[in-house]
Structure formats: structure tokens, C-alpha cells
Structure 1
């Protein structure tokens, strides 16, 4: 598996729904790459991808564990944010400007990687990124506390979907996110836990652009791959 290429799609600031559409195209391509008519050889488009974006507008999303009821949905809409259902694990969370969204589309069967091992890999790459930035106190906790934490505050949320061994969705890392948006929800359904950001923890302004290079370096190391920036 060493050195297998993963295509990188850098979307920049885009609506959350646009990032989902790009992700779905990547999932379809990964599935097609398994078929008998798949293109082989050096000219082939990499079967695996990672979609990186920054949500251009605030949006609350919920996973497979249930949507907000009508009253809660109305209260969230009143904040001016969008509401979107997402096919991932986990409860309701927030996505918005100042946050890195990473949607890896990987073939776990080809990698011989169990789903829990994949989630641990996502946590490990964010921990490597944190160490590169000088945030050595970041840690991963056992389930149900999935993600990366600073004390009792979540720095990076993880919620994945896996269909036919192909992953989608992934992680949301708070870089310089306005954390007051989380005041309207119980983030990820965890009572008594807070939310934090790289900027807050490091005491300086850390943008999504600042973390892209160390994120991709960590991604290569954890998932043992090369990166392909040829686009889509």
C-alpha cells in the first residue's frame, strides 16, 4: 500500500452543500475504480481522494442519530444558519468559516483497515498536526468521546460514513471558528463538554490556510500515501 496516490481537492471557502457534492463525485469514482472497466496504469485517476474545504456560511448538520425536533430546528434557523442532514455517524454539530473540513474518500477494503482503525487514523493525523503547531497537550479519548480534545473541550469533531468499504465525510477542525455558534447546541450530543479552536489554544490567529500544509503532511504519514494535486 505504501505510496499509493490520493487525489487532493482543495476547494477553499465554499458552501457546505458544494463540498458534499464534490465528495459524492469522489465516492462514485472510487466505486467505479473497482469495476472491470476501470482505467489502469499511470494515466489512471487515483481511486482515493481527500476533499478539503472551509464552509463559506454557517450551517448546523446532524448525523444518523436523529434530526432536531421542529422547535429546535426553528430555533437554529433563527440564528441565520442553514440546516443540513448528513449521512455520517454522530449527533448535531456546527460547520462554518474558520473551520477545516476534510472528507477522505478511502477504500478500507483495499487498505485492509477496519472502520475503528480508520477513525483512530483520523485522530492520529490531527494529533500529528497539533504537535507540528506546538500543541502537544491535544489528545484522543476512548468512545464515545471520538475526536481530538484539549482537556474537556473538543478541538476536532469526527463523523464518518462507510458504504461498501468506501469512506465519506470525515473531520471538522476548528482553526479560527467563531465558537459562539456552538452555544445553540449540545455539540456532538455530549453534555458537559466544551468546544475550542487552534487559535484559542495557541493564542494567535490560525486560519484554515495555515494548517493545510501540516495537515497534508500528517495525512501522508498516517495513511501511507503520496498526494496527487492534479485536480478533478
Structure 2
């Protein structure tokens, strides 16, 4: 895997605004992502990342198909699983409580990252996280994503517009795995697994979310992180953290 990104010593320390939210509606998440993408597009010295859980539903990316969803429209309605077609890479993903969703909004040009390198770095972050929980993760041979014991544990699908990233990673922490039999995530006929199922350690969404933030900050070279626990519309107050990262 690539070494962590290095920053020019003469440049100001990179800062990241991290939104650590609870369970939110996908439409609300999309609105927040659009707002942050607008802000970062106007100021390439800024960067943001959203960490949250999403209310149950299905999103389908550019490589996805409705054929990957087994339940009928009536069954989906009964389960209250809306289906949304979104402009990211990757296929279908089932969103459940018990996942950690990480949507970085990064100015890739300012970070000297090509889209391909950025995707590779996200996968490296996920492999590092799996390793921290005693799991030997492997890359998905077919498309971006990470597997554990042959089953997908993290879906990775991004979009890049004007060199600003959106979408990102959906990582299974401890969701109910039964419903994943009904959705071929990324077209895979084998249901997704989770950190809880594969790890010998106790895992919690809050702990995984914090660990993921630390890994993101370290790998992408953010020396300062401002953490928000509310949607920006709620006038959050930032908490300053200094996160160590490899030199």
C-alpha cells in the first residue's frame, strides 16, 4: 500500500472539519454533502468528512442494477426501504443501522491526488481499520471494496466533480446481517459480513467511527481536526483535536 501522504513543511497544516453524526436520513445526508462540496469547491484549503449511520434503504451506483435487489416493490415498501439511484461508483448497497458511513469531501487537486490514487488510499484506510480489529482484510478483485474471509465488509464508491470528492465508504460494523441476503451488494451473490462477525474484539459503532476518523486524518495528512456533532444548520460548536499522524 502507499505510504501516508506527506505535506510540504512550508505549507500551513491541513485542517479537516469532521461531522460525527448519528442516524440520519439519506436525503438529509445528501443535502449536507452538497453544502460541504460547495464550500470546499470555493476554498481549496478546506476539507470535510461526514461520519454517520443512514436509515434503512438501498442506494444503487453507476455499476449497479435493479436486478441486484431481490425483494419485490411491495416488499420493499413494507420494509420501508426506499431505493435511490446515486451518482457514485459501485453497485447496490443496503444501508442499515450498525454501519459507519464515511463521506470525505476533499479537494483532490490541493492534496495532489488523482481520483485513482484517492480510491486506493480509501481502501488502504479500510485495510488498516480491519487490521486494528484483528481482521486480515483483502481488496475486492472486481471493484473497489474490502473483503474479510471472502465476504464484502466495506463498499467503496466515490464521485469526483471539479476535483472535489463525494460519497466514499460504507463499512459494516454490527448490523443485522440477515437482510443482506436480499441485496447483492456490488452485484456479489455472497452476503456482506461485518466487523462484529469477523473480529475477535468487541466492536461498537462509536469506537469504529472514531478510529476511522483518526486513520483518515493520519493517511491524508490532516494535522488539525475540528469535530462537529450536529448538522451545520444546528449551529454546531467545534472541538479542536490534534491527531498524531505518521511523518
Q: Same fold (TM over 0.5)?
A: yes
Report the alpha carbon displacement of residue 6 of structure 1 after superposing the two structures with TM: 1.1
Once the two structures are superposed, the pairs formed by residues 116-195 of structure 1 within 5 Å of their partners are 116-135=116-135, 137-142=136-141, 144-191=142-189, 193-195=190-192
SS of residue matched to 2:137? coil
Contact 1:60 1:84 in 2 (8 A): yes
**TM-score normalised per structure 1:** 0.85
The superposition leaves residues 30-78 of structure 1 with CA deviations (integer Å, 9 ceiling, x where unpaired) of 11115xxxxxxxxxxx6210011111x2111111235527985454334
Q: 1:227 to 1:17 in 2, by over 3 A?
A: farther
SS of residue matched to 2:203? coil
Aligned-residue CA RMSD (Å): 2.2
Alignment: residue pair count: 217
Runs (5+) with no aligned partner, structure 2? 1-5, 8-12, 233-247
Once the two structures are superposed, the pairs formed by residues 1-232 of structure 1 within 5 Å of their partners are 2=7, 3-34=13-44, 47-55=46-54, 57-65=55-63, 68=66, 73-135=73-135, 137-142=136-141, 144-191=142-189, 193-203=190-200, 206-229=203-226, 231=228, 232=232
The superposition leaves residues 128-147 of structure 1 with CA deviations (integer Å, 9 ceiling, x where unpaired) of 11222222x112244x2321
SS of residue matched to 1:196? coil
Q: Distance in 2 between matches of 1:17 and 1:153?
A: 29
